[in-house]
Structures are given as structure tokens and as C-alpha cells.
Amino acid sequence: DPVRLKDYRPTPYAIRTIDLDVRLDPENTTVTARSRIEPREGTAPGTPLVLDGDELILTSVAIDGRALGTADYEATDKRLEIFAPPAGAFTLEVGTRIAPAKNTKLMGLYRTASNYCTQCEAEGFRRITYFYDRPDVLAVYTTRIEARKAEAPYLLSNGNLIERGDIAGTDRHFAVWHDPFPKPAYLFALVGGDFARISDTFRTMSGRDVTLEIYVEHGREDRGAYAMDSLKRSMKWDEEAFGREYDLDIFMIVAVSDFNMGAMENKGLNVFNDKYVLAKPDTATDQDYANIEGVIAHEYFHNWTGNRITCRDWFQLCLKEGLTVFRDQEFSSDQRSRPVKRISDVRLLKSHQFPEDAGPLAHPVRPETYHEINNFYTATVYEKGSEVVRMLKTLLGAETFRAGMDLYFARHDGDAATIEDFVACFAEASGRDLSQFMLWYKQSGTPELRVAQGYDASAKRYTLTIEQSCPPTPGQPTKLPMTIPVRFGLVGPNGADLAFEAVSGAEVAGDVIVVTEPKHEVVFEGVSAPPVPSLLRGFSAPVRLALELSAEASLFLLASDNDPFNRWQAAQTLATTALIEATRAVRAGAVPSIDPKLVDAFARVAVDDKVDPAFRALTLALPAEADIAREIGSDVDPDAIFAGRDALKKAIATGGRTAFRHLYESLASAEAYSPDAASAGRRALRNSALDYLAHAGETDSVMERYRTADNMTDRLAALGLVVGLGLPEAEAALIDFYSRFDGDGLVIDKWFTVQATAPLAATLDRVRALTEHPAFSLTNPNRFRSLVTAFATGNQTQFNRPDGAGYAFVADHVLTLDEINPQVAARLLSAFRSWRALEPRRRAYAEAELKRVLDKPGLSRDVADIANRSLG
Ligand code: ZN
């Protein structure tokens, strides 16, 4: 049965403190949990205490020092029920036994390399001991850890270290940690093992010195410097941008090589997938560096938005995730280039969240029902959740937004809060009624704005007719109109925004039209010339915009709009129109014809030295195949999309060959590698030029780039081209790359991914063979994702092979992995999420595979949930 938001009730008992005693052993870890528990007001005496558990073995249970008899309780591996607890406060002591070495789900306490670590969000703490494993039960944790000294010289947990020592006469030692901040169980963490440690300090704005420690695998200590630097910049930025200061004496990060997600914000002890910590120039790309900076910031920012203020229940997940993504995006914008960051974020939103919203897995930013919460750590909750916060800022203005945030921190510190609590702070700070705005949290699907324009020259009157709609989504056949902030400019003939004397038909605050009705006629008086409308500047709302603009008007915006985001958008719009036409031509058996004006515009952007190289690189990147598929919407043929896109790419490459050659040569640099945004932008532009040159047939440069590269960004860009284009040197390059990085898992992942994403007919056989490679692993999520998930999500033509073999291969792996790690298996299965939009033949194959998965007996809840919803 699903869990429903409307069924929320507080627990009958509160748990004030918990003292844990954990004795680490791979097969036989013992956990003793002593909790101080009291009935909440209104709880009837004798109300049973029902605690969560998962795959636990109970070894003892006592109340106030007295062991309970079997008539007093019932224990299964899923729950512990105490039939009649004392009427007042009492101490419960529970003993459990677990086997970290057998924990392949990587939830709860598990082994990674030869270390121990935990992952408790969302419901992993119940795999350590019986507890109220839900975010609205906040307790003060004291954690004693004991282990063999040789096996685990470091013993870490949340809070501050209060005691440590050897256990006399044994080979064991212990450490005791105390976290003074009450927290939910999902923020608990424990690490034991042998690591290399990198240390630093940070002085907070009130002058307290905080110890900073990053723990990495031995031999990787030369790869932690960028993460440490990112952490210090994050701490400073949160003080300046939001007035948030760190609150413990120590902040620790542990990098592990087996991790289901990106990272985890456990209080004072963040645990990271090591791909978001480790970097040096010859093993990490510019994108890796940017990801590290962003994820380090994200987890650090959770200390306030997530930890000090947590969520009442898991329906409120976006309260901490959407808000924290917004904060990390703002941080990266301030550290790097704001327009470039915005374009990258919108690309991610459109390629991950828009397809989710358009398919059978669509759900509101705040869902109202779920079967398995792990399946809701989605692009909708995270990325669309961030867009909703950004819209609040756009509507309210920066100052009022900050006042609302200040109020939220002041009022809810120490609370397990809801979205209603959060939005109320902004309503109060602004005096604005935000009840219609709340629909952004409740309605799923991507709204669409249809816009038409008219200009009356004699009256100097310009009119925008704006209509909003939102397509039906699972469980939501009809939608209410929403509040949509449309940042805009009326671009005049010389490229500057035109002034207007008066406006009517909608609230217009500064450069934002606030759309609230199904239809607005927005009338601007005193407009001196016919403008070209620049709408949704900065992508001010996560909507689809349908506005008929001539190619001339788009080319004009590309050259002249003073909003950089919309200059980029103009190029995307032009390319998308051309790509849809080219795809249609291919399907009709014709040769696509490409407009030379478009080719010319791309070549001109490439060499326009007045424009930031990173921005030029983003503009030159054609919309991804999946984006084109989404725009086409139904009866999708991925091979035709690929052929159409290839034709456009080759036309631009050939027409702009001289420009790309010039660019490639002029951007050569003798400087040592630096990961800063400006250098990364120059590399991105140079590699984009290389990509076009290769598509124009100039493949010699590619191999030479591969051989002479002095950093991973350039080497991998060249390898991707050699392999993706199926050049004769591909095998030799792959062998060379492997031998250079043999044993370095994170780099071998890149080697797997390059092969899995090559759009070649031989790819599936190669991927199948690579699943037998000694470096591949079903139990390590990074290895598995870099090969199998990369194939399913990053290779449109081969996953969607017309014979259905790509689907069958992926479904087989979903079923195999489900018995090892259901969370990662469920993620993989969501690669089928756009299956209904496919042409009939592929659709039938995909549906058959989804049904085959669903029919398997003993399926995990994670995979069953995705299969059920996908089939809808
Ligand atoms: Zn997060």
C-alpha cells in the first residue's frame, strides 16, 4: 500500500536521546541502542511502541534495565513492537546484530574497500537498529564505536569527539562522539577504517576555528586539494550570501568508492562518492572539477537547509533538496560565470526533468503518495524544486527573498518543517498571497506558454497575447492556472530594449510579467518601433514557450539580445527547428537540406572574440538527441534523429571549417593546466572546434590531440571522438588509455562510458563483452553505471535499437542487479521512461521488456514501483 501525505500523524512517543554502542566486525557487528523515550502529549497510557527495522536480528530488549519477556514484545526483521510501554518516560535498550560485509544494498552499515561506512537517508538507519526511522523524530546522539585497531585506525561519527582510547589487553580501541544538535536518524553516520587524511582549518565569521578533515583512500592524498578549497569557499559564501555560520568544532568528509548516490550531508560527517572528491589534472575533467565544487557546496549547505531545519516527512524532500540545489547553483554562479552556469543548469533541467515530467514517471515537486521513497530522489524534486525557489526570488526581488529566508531560519531552526512553513515565510516577508504559487509544488507536468504578438504602428501599441496550459499527467487529468514569472525585454531595431509608457493586462513588476490567468492580453503603450520579444529571459520559469518567431528574428536575438541566456536560447531554437525538419526528411527517405544562414550564424558565433569562450562552446553544442525526441513528442525514431542531427553537424562543420581550424589553432595554450572557469571555457571551445573539424573529416587532428594531451579534459574529448566516430585508431587508443590508468577505477569508468555511448551498431556486443571485463563490477555502483546505465541513458540509437536487443540487455541487467542493489537497479529501469513516445515497433519491444521485468517473482519494491508506474 502506498504512503500518503494526507495520512501524516506524529509518533505517539518522542525519542529524546540515543546512545549507540557499535562493535565493528565484517560478519558480526553488534549494536546496542539505549534510547530515552517519552509519550507525547495526548498519547493514551499503554499505547504500543512500534519501531522500524529492516533485515535485523534482535539479540536483546530491555526497559529501564529489565529484560522483556517474549510476551511483552513482538520482533520481526521489519519491526519491533512493545505492547505496553510504561506510562511515563523510560529507557529502552535494544541489541541487534548485522553483517556489513553482506550488505550489497549499500543502505545502513556496509563495507567499502576494507572500510566500514553508513548511508541512512532515506530509510537506512532501520538496518542498524530498531528505531523511529522517520525525519520528524529528533534525538541527541552519542555514539561509541569499537574496532580492531589494525582494521580501523579511524573511528568517526557525528558531532564532536569526546573520548578515545585503547582497550587494555586487547588489539582493540574505541572512540565516543557526541552531537549536541537533535537530528533525525537519516543524518546519522559512522565510519571506521584506514584512510589518508587531509586537514585544514576555517575561521568562521564570529571568529571560531573549525577543523576541516577530508579522508581518502591511501595513495589518493594528492587528489583532495580542490575539494578542500571548495569546502572553504562554500563556508565563506554561506556566511556572506545567507548569514549562515558553521556550528560544530569539526567538519569531516569521507570519500568512499562504493556509494549509491552522489553524497550525503550527515551532520558534521559528510560521506561522499569519491568521484565528487578526488581530482587531479591528468585524471579529472573540467566537468569533474565543476561537479566536485558543486556537490561539496551542496552537502555543506545542507547543514542549515536540511539539518538545522529538516523535513517533517519524506513528502517534503524538496524542502531541503530543491532549496539546497538552488543554493549550490547560486554559489557556482558566483564562483564562475553566471550566464554559463545558468545555461548548463537549464540544459540539465530540459534533458532530465522535462522528459520525466512528460512521461509516466511524472510527479509533483512535492508528491502526495509513494511506494518507495528512494525512487523520488529525482530531477523533479531536485532541479525543478530549485527552479521553484528561483521563481520565488524572481517574483519577490532579491531583498524580500533574503528577508523570507532570514525569517525561515529564525522561525524554524530546530524544526522538522513543511513546504507550507517555508512558503509562509515568503508570504509574510512580502505581504503577497502565495496560495496560487503553491501549485508549483502540487501540479506535475511542464506548463506551456503560447504567445502571439501584434504591433499597431500608428498607435505605437504593442500587444502580447499569453495563454498558459499544462498537459495531463498521472493522477492529474486537469490543471489549474499557475503563477508564471516571465522576465522579458522588447528588443528594438538597434538591439537595445525599447521603453514603453504604460502597460495593462497583467501585473508587470520591473522586467517581469506575472502570468496568473489562463489568458492575458498584455498591452504596451508608447512603443516607438516594432520590437522582437525576448521572453523568459534567464529561463525565469520552467515552462515550454511556444512563440512563432521568424528565423530572421531568432538570428537577430542570437546576435543582439542583451540577455545572454536568450542569445543561447535563440541558437537552440534555430537548431531545434532545423533538426526537426532534418529528422522529418530522413524519415521520408530524403536528404535533409540545411539552411546556409544557420551554418553561417554558427560559424560566426564560433570566432566572435568579444564573447566568452565557455558561452560560445555552449552555443555551438547542438541540442541532444533526447531533447529533439522530446520536442517531436510522439512516433519517435531515434535513428532518424541521429541521422538528421549528424547532417546538421556535418553541414556546420563543412561550412565553418576555416573558422573552426582558426579557432582550434588560436586556442592552443602552453600554460600549465588550471581548473578555473576561464581556462575550462577555452578548453571547451577548443574541443568543440575539434569536434566540428572531425565531423568535417579532418580526423588527423583528433589522434594528435589524444597523443599530446596533458590533461584528462583534452585526452577524453579526443578519445570520445576517436571511438564515437569509429575511426581506425579507436582500438589502439582504447588500449593505450586503459594501460595508462589500469587500476584507477574512476578513470576506467570514463573508458567504459566512452565505449558504451558510441553510436555504433557494434556497441551492444562490445558492452556485453565488457560486462565480463575484470575491471567491471555489479556491486560497485560507479562501475555499473559507467557501463550499463551509460548505455541505457547516454546512447539513444543503440539502447533504442530497432530490433529491441538494447531493451532486452538493459532489462536483463535490471533483473540481475535487483538481487544485489535494488536502488541502482530501479534507476536503470527508469531509462525506459519515454517509451510511450516511440514509434510503434520500438514501443512494443520496450513495453514487452517492462512487462517481463514486472512479471519476475520476488522483485524489490524499488524496481516493482518503477515498472508499475512506467506501464501506468
Ligand atoms: Zn541534497
DSSP string, 586-615: HHTTPPP---HHHHHHHHHHHT-TTS-HHH
CA 396 to ligand 1 centroid distance, Å: 25
Cα gap 240→618, rounded to integer Å? 30
Convert 436-451 to b/e letters by CB count within 10 Å (16 or more is b): ebbbbbbbbbbbebeb
CA 562 to ligand 1 centroid distance, Å: 34
CA 234 to ligand 1 centroid distance, Å: 15
CA 324 to ligand 1 centroid distance, Å: 6
Q: Is 563 helix (H, G, I), strand (E, B) or coil?
A: coil
Question: Which residues are 20's β-sheet partners?
Answer: 33, 143
CA 276 to ligand 1 centroid distance, Å: 13
CA 135 to ligand 1 centroid distance, Å: 15
Cα gap 293→226, rounded to integer Å? 8
**The pairing of beta strand 507-509 with beta strand 512-515:** antiparallel
8 Å CB contact between 348 and 313: no
Count CA atoms within 13 Å of residue 596 on its CB side.
1
CA 314 to ligand 1 centroid distance, Å: 13
Which helix (DSSP H) or strand (DSSP E) does residue 423 occupy? helix 419-430
Give which of 95, 13, 2, 6 is closest to 53, Cα–Cα: 95
Residue listed under C-alpha cell 583528433: 702
The DSSP output letter for 187 is G
8 Å CB contact between 227 and 300: no
Q: Is 635 helix (H, G, I), strand (E, B) or coil?
A: coil
Question: Which residues are 32's β-sheet partners?
Answer: 21, 95
The DSSP output letter for 543 is -
Residue 665 appears among annotated catalytic residues: no
State the alpha helices, DSSP H only, in 336-380: 338-348, 354-358, 379
Question: Which residues are 196's β-sheet partners?
Answer: 216
CA 202 to ligand 1 centroid distance, Å: 23
CA 322 to ligand 1 centroid distance, Å: 8
User: According to the model, what pLDDT value does residue 576 have?
Assistant: 98
8 Å CB contact between 570 and 554: yes
Cα gap 410→30, rounded to integer Å? 40
Where are the extended beta strands (E) located within 364-431?
Answer: 369-370, 416-417
Cα gap 244→249, rounded to integer Å? 15
Three cell numbers, residue 376 = 523520488
CA 291 to ligand 1 centroid distance, Å: 13
Which helix (DSSP H) or strand (DSSP E) does residue 144 occupy? strand 139-148
Cα gap 327→243, rounded to integer Å? 13
The answer to whether the peptide bond before residue 122 is cis (omega within 30 degrees of 0) is yes
User: According to the model, what pLDDT value does residue 85 have?
Assistant: 98
CA 306 to ligand 1 centroid distance, Å: 8
Cα gap 565→534, rounded to integer Å? 10
Residues 6+ apart with CB under 8 A from 350: 627, 630
- DSSP letters along 46-104, please? T--EEEE-SS-EEEEEEETTEEPPTTTEEE-SSEEEESS--SS-EEEEEEEEE-GGG-T
Give which of 437, 627, 447, 454 is closest to 545, Cα–Cα: 447
Cβ neighbours, 10 Å, residue 261? 17
CA 541 to ligand 1 centroid distance, Å: 22
CA 321 to ligand 1 centroid distance, Å: 5
CA 580 to ligand 1 centroid distance, Å: 36
Cβ neighbours, 10 Å, residue 689? 27
Three cell numbers, residue 701 = 587532428
8 Å CB contact between 621 and 611: no
Give which of 437, 442, 528 is closest to 478, Cα–Cα: 442
User: According to the model, what pLDDT value does residue 356 have?
Assistant: 98
Which helix (DSSP H) or strand (DSSP E) does residue 116 occupy? strand 115-119
**The pairing of beta strand 310-311 with beta strand 416-417:** parallel
CA 269 to ligand 1 centroid distance, Å: 14
CA 377 to ligand 1 centroid distance, Å: 9
CA 15 to ligand 1 centroid distance, Å: 25
Give helix 613-620 / helix 677-695 axis angle, nearest 10°.
40
CA 789 to ligand 1 centroid distance, Å: 22
What one-letter code names the amino acid at 615?
F
8 Å CB contact between 623 and 579: yes
Residues of the chain predicted below pLDDT 50? none
Cβ neighbours, 10 Å, residue 598? 21
CA 265 to ligand 1 centroid distance, Å: 7
Three cell numbers, residue 559 = 546576435
Quote ipTM for the complex: 0.98
What one-letter code names the amino acid at 402?
R
Task: Output the CA–CA distances (angstroms, integers) from residue 388 to 51, 66, 353, 866, in the order listed.
Answer: 35, 52, 13, 25
CA 294 to ligand 1 centroid distance, Å: 11
CA 323 to ligand 1 centroid distance, Å: 9
User: According to the model, what pLDDT value does residue 225 have?
Assistant: 98
- DSSP letters along 817-865, please? HHTT-HHHHHHHHGGGTTGGGB-HHHHHHHHHHHHHHHHSTT--HHHHH
Three cell numbers, residue 149 = 585497531
CA 299 to ligand 1 centroid distance, Å: 6
Cα gap 130→60, rounded to integer Å? 11
Give which of 366, 532, 374 is closest to 453, Cα–Cα: 532
CA 298 to ligand 1 centroid distance, Å: 6
CA 69 to ligand 1 centroid distance, Å: 43
Question: Which residues are 61's β-sheet partners?
Answer: 94
End-to-end CA distance of the chain, in Å?
16
Burial class for 596, CB neighbours closer than 10 Å (0-12, 13-18, 19+)? exposed
Cα gap 65→216, rounded to integer Å? 41
CA 630 to ligand 1 centroid distance, Å: 27
CA 295 to ligand 1 centroid distance, Å: 8
Pick the catalytic residue: 93, 299, 330, 387? 299
Q: What is the largest CA-CA distance in the chain?
A: 98
8 Å CB contact between 190 and 109: yes
Question: Which residues are 484's β-sheet partners?
Answer: 515
Q: Is 351 helix (H, G, I), strand (E, B) or coil?
A: helix
Task: Output the CA–CA distances (angstroms, integers) from residue 429 to 399, 420, 624, 687, 756, in the order listed.
Answer: 10, 14, 41, 47, 51
